[in-house]
Amino acid sequence: MALLRHGRVGSCHRVFSETGFGECAARDVIVTLRSFLEDQTSPTPHREDVGIRLRPDDDPALLANNLDAVSLIEVEFPKYTDGRGYSIAQLLRRRYGYSGELRAVGQILRDQLLLMKRSGFDAVAFDHPDTEGVYAEAVGELSEVYQAAADGSISIFLRRRTDLSPGRLT
């Protein structure tokens, strides 16, 4: 499975661990929300470089106070039609101010990539013979947006103001 960061093929050596950190260094694994929260209340919590995988029914609010320890959050899309991950991403980025890597994993199809980018994902696990090309094409399909979102785009509602004309913005 290819990993794209900001549209470029990258790699990640971390492995997902259902059972928590075990003997591993934080930066080598990705743990569940539950393992992470348990670890945070343990005597020797991992305070840096933690990777977490959120299931769609996980509540990102539980992370709000410990996000400094986290450098990677994977959000799982068990099925491409399950849209909960988009809300999780918006919350993490816009409400809780998460600025680390936000990665979409699971069943991800080309035609969701734009939504993911807009919702604040900067990385996706996505396979295609021409990953980078397809990504660039897909996220470029609609160039204006009616809503502000986690990607920082400026909404058409605002763009229409004469003082924010396209020329001034770009």
Partner 1 sequence: MYRYDEFDEGLVRQRARQFRGQVERRLAGELPEEHFKPLRLQNGVYLQLHAYMLRVAIPYGQLDGAKLRGLAEIADRYDKRYGHFTTRQNIQFNWIRLEDMPEVLDRLADFGMHAIQTSGNCIRNVTSDPFAGAGADEVEDPRPWCEIIRQWSTFHPEFSHLPRKFKIAVSGGGHDRAAIRVHDIGLDLKRNSEGEIGFEVICGGGLGRTPHVGVTVREWISKPDLLSYLEAIMRVYNRHGRRDNKYKARIKILVNELGEAGFRKLVEEEFAAQHESEKVVLPQTEINRIEAYFAPPVFDAALPTSEIFDAARKTDKSLDRWARHNVRPHKIPGYASILVSLKPLGAPPGDATSDQMRAIADIADRYAGGDIRVAHEQDLVLTHVRLDDVPSVFAALQAAGLATANGGLITDIIACPGLDYCNLANARSISVANSIQEAFSDPNLEDLIGRLHLNISGCINACGHHHVGHIGILGVDKKGEEFYQVLFGGRADERAAIGEIAGPGLRHEDIAPALKRVVERYLVLRSSPEETFIDTLERLGQAPFREALYGAS
Binding site for partner 1 (CB under 8 A): 80-84, 86-88, 90, 94-95, 109, 111-112, 114-115, 118-119, 141-149, 155-161
CB-nearer residue toward partner 1: 86 or 98? 86
CB-nearer residue toward partner 1: 50 or 138? 138
Minimum CB–partner distance for residue 99 and partner 1 (Å): 14
CB-nearer residue toward partner 1: 69 or 114? 114
Minimum CB–partner distance for residue 87 and partner 1 (Å): 5
CB-nearer residue toward partner 1: 10 or 166? 166
Minimum CB–partner distance for residue 166 and partner 1 (Å): 9
Residue 150 to residue 92: CA distance in whole angstroms: 9
Minimum CB–partner distance for residue 82 and partner 1 (Å): 6
For residue 6, which of 101, 107, 128 has the smallest C-alpha distance? 101
Are β-strands 8-10 and 15-17 bridged in parallel, bridged antiparallel, or unpaired? unpaired
Contacts of 79 (CB under 8 A, 6+ apart): 106, 107
